[in-house]
Amino acid sequence: MSRRRISRRDLLKHTLLGTTAMLVPVLAARAAGPGVPWLPGQTETPPAYPHLRFFTHAERQCVDAITARLIPSDGNGPGARDAGVTDFIDSQLAGFYGRGDRWYMKGPFRDGLDTQGYQHGEPPAGLYRKAIESLDAYCRDTAGSPFADLPEAEQDELLKRLDDGELELDGVPAKAFFELVRENAIEGFFSDPIYGGNRDMIGWRLVGFPGARYDYRDYLDHDGRPIRIEPVGLKGRPAWNPG
């Protein structure tokens, strides 16, 4: 693969071809409560788990720097930092996802196929913790600073090496870590705002996704013209959440 900077367009252009459990909410009106129709373009800025946090300060800085390079703020619009992606990942790792509570996590562990999903002995939280420690140690040894303090060009080069499988981290599947962070960053950028990311529906606005609307009948006869409507979230109306 060629040595090129990580492209935000390359990262995001295929995202909507797949789905995640939190990207396109199901039964939105029932989950949010009564009061539909909601007001488009309005949402609280949760997160849904305000007291669940996993990262130490140093870990948070590292992940924030990684995701800011994966989805940077640029001419297309705001990026991962603006969308609260690190908050999203932080709270997810502090909960059942980070612990792998709903996964089979007993050995033996072997190299799996790409189609088999997560195939590592550590749950996501454990992989993050070990990989961040190893990555920062590598950066200190080779560049004199942890990852978050390196110039952006050096950060991009390291992430490209991780993506290509050319950089080994001590005791950690480096490429698997990179792929997990990239996947979680995309989830945090496009998930419903109740999960702590996609603040002000930044991700949805970027790609023109209308959110958790329950009725599209007013927009069926558009003769192929682009439909530009304000997105709505599951908590798109503050009146649903009194107190």
Three-class HEC string of the chain: CCCCCCCHHHHHCCHHHCCCCCCCCCCHHHHHCCCCCCCCCCCCCCCCCCCCCCCCHHHHHHHHHHHHHHCCCECCECCHHHHCHHHHHHHHHHCHHHHCCCCCCCCCCCCCCHHHCCCCCCCHHHHHHHHHHHHHHHHHHHHCCCHHHCCHHHHHHHHHHHHHCCCCECCECHHHHHHHHHHHHHHHHHCCHHHCCCHHHHHHHHHCCCECCCCCHHHCCCCCCCCCCCCECCCCCHHHCCC
Give me the mean pLDDT over the 141-151 stretch. Answer: 96
Closest to 212 measured CA to CA, from 3, 26, 79: 26
- Rg of the chain over all Cα atoms, to the nearest angstrom: 19
Q: What is the pTM of this model?
A: 0.76
How confident is the model over 181-204, as pLDDT tens digits?
Answer: 999 999 999 999 888 899 888 999
Mean pLDDT of 173-186: 94
**What mean pLDDT, rounded, does the chain reach?**
79
- C-alpha neighbours within 13 Å on the C-beta side of residue 158: 26
User: Which of left, alpha, beta for 91 (phi over 0: left; psi -120 to 50: alpha)?
Assistant: alpha
User: Phi then psi for 209, rounded to 5 degrees?
Assistant: -80, 130
Q: Amino acid letter at 13?
A: K
Domain boundaries, the chain: 8-22+48-208
Segment 162-169 shows an average pLDDT of 91
Burial class, 3, CB count within 10 angstroms (exposed 0-12 / middle 13-18 / buried 19+): exposed
Least confident window among 12-16, 51-55, 118-122, 229-233: 12-16
Q: Residues 219-243: what's their mean pLDDT?
A: 70
**48-62, 83-97, 170-184: least confidently modelled range:** 48-62
| Torsions phi, psi for 172 (to 5 deg) | -135, 135
Question: How far apart (Å, rounded) are the C-alpha atoms in residues 200 and 221?
Answer: 28
The pLDDT of residue 25: 38
Among 24-38, 91-105, 167-181, 215-229, whose mean pLDDT is lowest? 24-38
Q: Is the pLDDT of residue 60 over 90?
A: yes
> 3-7, 48-52, 90-94: which has the minimum mean pLDDT?
3-7
- Give CA separation, 167 vs 158, 160, 163, in Å: 8, 9, 8
